[in-house]
Chain A
Amino acid sequence: MKAMLERIGVQKLEDLYSDVPSEFLKKGAYALPDALSEQEIRDLFASLEAMNSRLKVFVGQGAYDHYTPAVIPYLTQRSEFITAYTPYQCEISQGTLRYIFEYQSMICALTGMDVSNASMYDGPTAAAEAMMMCTACAKKKNRVLLSRTLLPHVLKVVETYAKFHGVEIGYIDAVEGESSLESLKAELAKDNVAGAILPSLNRFGIIENLEGFADAIHAAKAVMVQYCDPSALAVVKTPAEWGADIAVGDGQPLGLPLSYGGPYVGFMAVKKDYMRKMPGRIVGQTSDKEGRRAFVLTLQAREQHIKREKATSNICSNQSLMALWATIYLSLMGPQGLKEVNSISSDGAHYLYARLLETGKFDEVFPGKPFLKEFVLKPKEFPGLMQKRLEEAGFFAALDTEEGYVSFCVTEKRTKEEIDALVKVIKES
């Protein structure tokens, strides 16, 4: 430090702050502890880590305990990936631009859409961005409809963005656990609707039947947005197949660890007509002057550094490293692997559902409704007690919902033994 100060001709560190008026300078020392040795740091973190409870995860609600293949963290931690900056200078960023292009291509394959962006922060904010796209596309309309069957945190984030963007939110009712077409039509009839956001797998785990929704929304000259679990898209009808214009969701189920809530990654993919209104970065393929295949950031005239306040959004970043994570996961799994993940998860979930009903401690909430890996039941006792008891037995399960149901989820990581052990705890309580 002394040598550096000497080199630039400064007497002491404080002199570097001479331009700051003295009344704004902090007086006195900072309450920082002394440095610890490597050994002491290891001990400190070991004691903190011991405070965590390692539970078997039987809950979803937007974040799913799917298996992360070992090679993924190994590759993403390569310095070329983990230290790379934004690929603004394409000449030195072909690696980054190439993997983002692969990521975009895979998202299009999963959703059936024409164009994907380079990723967004997470699912809920991607949904909020889709809401802003709806009003950007339908210039004079400022109402966006949200289905009440969307995940609670997705609703909350979109509502927050709407409030500060002058967008009026309307709701599509949940009837028998699914978005109601009647309710949608009633809301559309009120006019001024720019778009509607519907789920693919909803907050109850049900695979929604959206027959007739796209037609009704398009007849009202509004935009249809579908919020999806990208892993499940390998086995359920895609947003493109349902007639959606925009597909968004969270990429966490694509092998990203739960990590106490993040970092996750949002995705957005659209039909060609909406390409120019899509926010975020987009990587395009081109050729250099020698005719070699090359990648660049493209369609930048959409972005806020050019369009300024007229841009759809102020986002000028993406979640590159997590998008890379999801891309490696998808390359490893392939369509067949992804189908197997869903098939095993679904088998486990349906097995658990049947065994829980057998205990006699639950009532069905939505009998006959198709679910994939997640479901809700109504406990005969007070919900909060069940979750607590299971936690003490080493399970994170029976998460209570606003409606007084309990939510369960089974992924391919949960074995039959674990499921049976969970049921045993409930049976014996």
Chain B
Amino acid sequence: MSKILEGLKYAESHEWVKVEGNIAVIGVTDYAQKEMGDITYVDMPDVDDEVSAGEEFGALESVKASSDLFSPVSGTVVEVNSELEDAPEKVNEDAFANWIIKVELSDAGELDALMDAAAYKEFIGE
């Protein structure tokens, strides 16, 4: 059973969003990290990069696969989780505690298009 946190927003591409004021904290779900297997590298954007809702901003790499990360929202990257550079396995250890990027929202209205916890639970069919 994959862990799902209440109060967060979810994208169909398995990213979660925690809204803190005008900042969107973004990571991948427990379901996603399980599907990936042991993550060996997190490919992250640079601070000040622009991201767009639905577009790829990075990737998760395991030994045999590479999975793109899609931004659930549009805006500017204000912080990336540098701890993941040397310890990508943190995402496997706790996908919700280890966020990947923080984005300053350009359009808070986009959050309405995302799923809530219950809808995501149904979406992954568990």
A interface residue numbers (CB < 8 A to B):
276, 300-301, 306-307, 310
Kindly report which residue of chain B lies nearest to residue A311, judged by CB atoms. B66
Shortest Cβ distance from residue A297 to the other chain B in the assembled complex, whole angstroms? 11
Q: Is the CB of B64 within 8 A of A301?
A: yes
Bound state CA distance, A259 and B1, in angstroms? 63
Complex: A300 Cα to B59 Cα, angstroms: 14
What are 11 residue pairs bridging A and B, where the CB atoms are less than 8 Å apart in the complex?
A276-B43, A300-B64, A301-B40, A301-B61, A301-B62, A301-B63, A301-B64, A306-B66, A310-B59, A310-B66, A310-B68
- When chains A and B are docked, how far (Å) is the Cα of A310 from the Cα of B43? 13
Majority secondary structure, A binding face: helix
- Contacts A300-B64, A306-B66 supplied; 6 other A-B pairs, CB < 8 Å: A276-B43, A301-B62, A301-B63, A301-B65, A306-B64, A310-B59
Please tell me if B41 contacts chain A, counting CB pairs below 8 Å.
Answer: yes
> Which chain A residue has the least Cβ–Cβ distance from B43?
A276
Nearest-neighbour CB distance to chain B for A271, whole angstroms, equals 15
Query: Whole-angstrom distance between the alpha carbons of A251 and B40 in the complex?
Result: 32
- A303's nearest neighbour on chain B, judged by CB, is B66
Chain A nearest Cβ from B64, distance in angstroms: 7
Q: Which residue of B lies closest to A221 (CB)?
A: B46
- B: which residues have CB within 8 A of A? 40-41, 43, 59, 61-66, 68
A218 to chain B, nearest CB (A): 15
Q: Complex: how many Å from CA A310 to CA B59?
A: 10
Distance between B109 CB and nearest chain A CB, rounded to angstroms: 26
Chain B residues, CB < 8 A from A301:
40-41, 61-66
Q: How far is the CA of A136 from the CA of B33 in the complex (A)?
A: 26
CA gap between A307 and B67 in the complex, in Å: 8
Residues on the A chain within 8 Å of B63, using CB: 300-301
B41 touching A307 by the CB < 8 A rule? Answer: no
Closest B residue by C-beta to A307: B66
Residues in B whose Cβ lies below 8 Å from that of A276: 41, 43
Q: How far is the CA of A370 from the CA of B62 in the complex (A)?
A: 49
- Within the assembled complex, what's the spacing in Å between the Cα atoms of A169 and B64? 35
> Is B68 in contact with A306, judged by CB distance below 8 angstroms?
no
A310 to B65, CA, bound (A): 12
Find chain B residues with CB under 8 A from A306 CB. 64-66
Distance (whole angstroms) from the CB of A357 to the closest CB of chain B: 54
Measured in the bound complex, the distance between the Cα atoms of B41 and A250 in whole Å is: 31
Q: Which of A300, A301, A306, A307 has the most CB of B within 10 A?
A: A301
Bound together, the chains give a CA A306 to CA B41 distance in angstroms of: 14
Shortest beta-carbon distance from B31 to chain A in Å = 21
Q: Which of B43, B61, B62 has the most CB of A within 10 A?
A: B61
- B60 CB to closest chain A CB (Å) equals 10
CA distance A300 to B62 in the complex (A): 9
User: With a CB–CB cut-off of 8 A, which chain B residues contact A310?
Assistant: 59, 66, 68
Residues of A within 8 A of B68 (CB): 310
Task: Write out the residue numbers on chain B whose beta carbons fall within 8 Å of the beta carbon of A300.
Answer: 63-64
B85 CB to closest chain A CB (Å) equals 11
Q: Which chain A residues lie closer than 8 Å to B64 at the CB level?
A: 300-301, 306
A388 → chain B closest CB, angstroms: 56
